[in-house]
A and B are shown apart, each in its own frame.
Chain A
């Protein structure tokens, strides 16, 4: 009974005019306000039953359908019962069927409709027929075969039911065989697909199962039942906004996987998670699941892991709030179980490891270890790993306003770190990582005797560890035990012949030993040592430790200065011939001579020759080799050699700028010179000259920008300066320049520099240039405002200088922040020291020099 073709309120032409009551009733009917329409027509029927009864039936049918659509099945029942008293049965067949389908009370009621399914002239659509047939199946009751035309349907429905039962009993073959005779034209043929899908699913044929399930009509009963199986198969059924475990599919899914009833809870937890309320999610699960939190491998354990590990994937602020809420729970002693406390402590310690207080970390992690010890059977190795981690974290130098500051600071909790690391070693003497961390902690604490003792012990305990042997060897070189150090390096080399740092270290140790022997006038032994280096010698000239020319030069110089000068000539001549350039030979020779001739006056013959060389035209490309030499001396931490090298390279750069040089030379040199370094001025001359030839060269302009910018350039200003250079590089198809500029722009976007408008360095210099005679306090008073970060940096420098010994001051001056003029450093030093008496040096003058051996990759000769 569909909607009337004409509007019920329309009055046909020539019909008598409607009375107001009828017009109102027809309007209600037209608007779909069935209840109002029904009430009006009920009254009108009493006046003219023949005229208004069809309209009353129509209103009641509309009302019933509306109720069924809303799921109000029980409310629809009396309306349908009333309809049966006023309408012909044929008119109500479709409505009664719909009611039966909605009520889900298949069985007896549905059986009444069997004739509708079998009659060739039935008025039902295919969809309605299928729904009706589904109801017959899920009624799980036998169909009376005596009904007209019901015999065949009864057999087919029975076969489906038996197949489903066979699946439940894991009799898959029988399930499939039972459905084989089912014809394609059958009203329940789609159930065969469902059963096939179920069998494939439980037999592990995921593809076939997915195929069968996907082929099912969506609005059929099996079409809805398949959803939980498709969730398991990982089919993308749900969009990002909806949940997979919804409705019956969720309930079935949970029942299927042995977690009946979990769907509601997980759905709710999912809601909290999506609404960015992680602690609410945790609280919900904690309240409703008895065994939560759990460390087990069941689904509750997985949810527990999710709740604690999500801390590490949440946005920082959200994670911080969540961690704070968990912390409050633990602090208030309201944890549900020891397991919960343990899990909270672990998660919080790992979460706060970067930003939290080391003191709290120390206590909370130890509390966690205690709980682990209590809940599990004692496991010393586990505890050793835990203490090792604690020690290594506590021994990390605190982060300062700048990396330079951080490197100067002693960890505040070094003694606690050492204690934790010792405990770790005590619990598990085979824990190599703890040993290595303890060595580092001793180094940071300048506890050299303990460090040496530990390293000696480690070489016995871990004779097969390259890292230990290299560390021990390096430490031996620090104590001038060169032969012993060489022995360790030789053992390390035997363990790993592919690591180039180890032979470099071995040659370094032997060279130092040879130098010592020359000084002791044990010349034959020293020469034997040099002869023994043959197998470790390299032909390429780039390696300044092991290349043939470098070794020949060292030997020649040692002979000349400390041995037999008559033997030096051939060695020096061979070295000169094999060197990458005369300039490189002269600079290296001059710097080495400075070191080897300590205590004697250097003749400076190499420098004189170098000065003469610079007066003639020199090749710009040679500057690259010289800059690598300078890098080498920097790594060796030999300030005298480094300064000598700087003087000579500066001279060379200025000489080369006057000669003809290629743009490629300029590129290579510029990439080796860090902005605001000693050679920036020399490079500026090169760039200026290059730009005279091509004023728009993007690469040279980029280098110019790089070496001139101040430390507080804002990202906006950087983009403003660099974008035209990038455009020019693209126009010229200069890939190298384009790559460099893009990289810089991306770096600035990712890590914008401190957005402080005052140009710190410029103003700093202005202060001094205007009044160089200011006293220290005045200097500090006249410093420009630096903002919170600048204040932190200055405060840190002041604290460091106040407590530093003379030896440390020397080192601090040498390694001061890049861009800080030496006079500024001295002015700060004076200002800091004036009100206080100068601290007496508390350590011997040869005290702590950071070991170049700590990192095997930085091993170099000095």
Chain B
């Protein structure tokens, strides 16, 4: 996945910001408690840790963000963190639509 999204930093972030985000994210994902996330964070950090890596990533990265457009979209939104609840009107509309179907 996109390392900027994994670490939650902008594409203009500098080395320091990226390292801070990486260390912060690591606090919730130790290799014992969440090895998958830990590996994901490490891989993401390695890709953009310094300017050379970021340049390489920008120019030559060909990683596919998913197996299909839908998969890429779902993986993308999962990386964004837990969404806020639906607004009251949207929730009502959603439930009414579910009642009709």
Q: Which A residues have a C-beta under 8 Å from some C-beta of B?
A: 101-102, 104, 106, 134-135, 137-138, 140, 164-165, 167-170, 198, 201-202, 204, 221-222, 224-225, 231-232, 234, 243-245, 247-248, 251-253, 255-259, 262, 266-267, 269-270, 273-274, 281, 285, 295, 297, 299, 301-303, 305-307, 309-313, 346-347, 350, 379, 381-382, 385-386, 389
Once the chains bind, are A224 and B98 in contact (CB under 8 Å)? yes
> Within the complex, what minimum Cβ distance (angstroms) separates B13 from chain A?
11
Selected interface stretch from B19-27, B35-43, B56-64 = B56-64
**Across the interface, which residues of A come within 8 angstroms of B83, CB to CB?**
202, 232, 256-258
Once the chains bind, are B87 and A168 in contact (CB under 8 Å)? yes
For residues 7 through 53 of chain B, which have their beta carbon under 8 Å from a beta carbon of chain A? 10-11, 51-52
**Across the interface, which residues of A come within 8 angstroms of B97, CB to CB?**
248, 251
Q: Which B residues have a C-beta under 8 Å from some C-beta of A?
A: 2, 4-5, 10-11, 51-52, 55-56, 58-66, 68-70, 72-78, 80, 82-88, 90-92, 94-101
**Across the interface, which residues of B come within 8 angstroms of A295, CB to CB?**
11
Bound-state Cα–Cα, A234 to B72, Å: 13
**Minimal Cβ-Cβ distance residue in A for B77:** A257
> Within the complex, what minimum Cβ distance (angstroms) separates B14 from chain A?
13
The B interface, classified by DSSP as helix, strand, loop or mixed, is helix
> Within the complex, what minimum Cβ distance (angstroms) separates B25 from chain A?
14
**Minimal Cβ-Cβ distance residue in A for B10:** A297
> Within the complex, what minimum Cβ distance (angstroms) separates A682 from chain B?
49
Once the chains bind, are A104 and B94 in contact (CB under 8 Å)? no
Once the chains bind, are B95 and A302 in contact (CB under 8 Å)? no
> Within the complex, what minimum Cβ distance (angstroms) separates A339 from chain B?
13
**Across the interface, which residues of B come within 8 angstroms of A140, CB to CB?**
92
Once the chains bind, are B84 and A138 in contact (CB under 8 Å)? no
**Minimal Cβ-Cβ distance residue in A for B94:** A252
Q: Which 5 A-B pairs have the closest CB atoms?
A: A302-B76, A257-B77, A168-B88, A224-B98, A306-B72
**Across the interface, which residues of A come within 8 angstroms of B75, CB to CB?**
302
Bound-state Cα–Cα, A291 to B38, Å: 33
Bound-state Cα–Cα, A269 to B70, Å: 8
Q: Which of B59, B62, B72, B99 is close to A221, meaning CB atoms less than 8 Å apart?
A: B99
Once the chains bind, are A346 and B85 in contact (CB under 8 Å)? no
Bound-state Cα–Cα, A267 to B68, Å: 10
**Minimal Cβ-Cβ distance residue in A for B80:** A257
Once the chains bind, are A385 and B70 in contact (CB under 8 Å)? no
**Across the interface, which residues of B come within 8 angstroms of A266, CB to CB?**
69-70, 73
**Minimal Cβ-Cβ distance residue in A for B8:** A297
> Within the complex, what minimum Cβ distance (angstroms) separates B48 from chain A?
12
> Within the complex, what minimum Cβ distance (angstroms) separates A355 from chain B?
16
**Minimal Cβ-Cβ distance residue in B for A205:** B82
Once the chains bind, are A255 and B86 in contact (CB under 8 Å)? yes
Bound-state Cα–Cα, A256 to B77, Å: 10
Bound-state Cα–Cα, A302 to B4, Å: 11
Once the chains bind, are A138 and B96 in contact (CB under 8 Å)? yes
Bound-state Cα–Cα, A258 to B76, Å: 12
13 A/B residue pairs, CB under 8 Å, sorted by A: A168-B88, A168-B91, A222-B95, A225-B95, A232-B83, A253-B74, A253-B77, A266-B70, A295-B11, A299-B76, A302-B66, A309-B65, A382-B58
> Within the complex, what minimum Cβ distance (angstroms) separates B98 from chain A?
4
Bound-state Cα–Cα, A268 to B16, Å: 41
Q: Which of B52, B60, B72 is close to A381, meaning CB atoms less than 8 Å apart?
A: B52
> Within the complex, what minimum Cβ distance (angstroms) separates B83 from chain A?
5
Bound-state Cα–Cα, A219 to B16, Å: 52
**Minimal Cβ-Cβ distance residue in B for A73:** B100
Bound-state Cα–Cα, A101 to B96, Å: 11
Bound-state Cα–Cα, A219 to B73, Å: 27
Once the chains bind, are A106 and B99 in contact (CB under 8 Å)? yes
**Minimal Cβ-Cβ distance residue in B for A169:** B88
**Across the interface, which residues of B come within 8 angstroms of A389, CB to CB?**
59-60
Taking A164-B91, A309-B64 as given, write out 16 further A-B residue pairs in contact, using a Cβ cutoff of 8 Å, ordered by the A residue number: A135-B99, A138-B96, A140-B92, A202-B84, A204-B82, A222-B95, A232-B74, A243-B70, A245-B74, A248-B101, A251-B94, A266-B70, A285-B69, A301-B2, A306-B69, A389-B60
Once the chains bind, are A306 and B94 in contact (CB under 8 Å)? no
**Across the interface, which residues of B come within 8 angstroms of A381, CB to CB?**
51-52, 55
Bound-state Cα–Cα, A686 to B12, Å: 68
Bound-state Cα–Cα, A245 to B72, Å: 12
Once the chains bind, are A138 and B99 in contact (CB under 8 Å)? yes
Bound-state Cα–Cα, A247 to B70, Å: 14
Bound-state Cα–Cα, A288 to B58, Å: 26
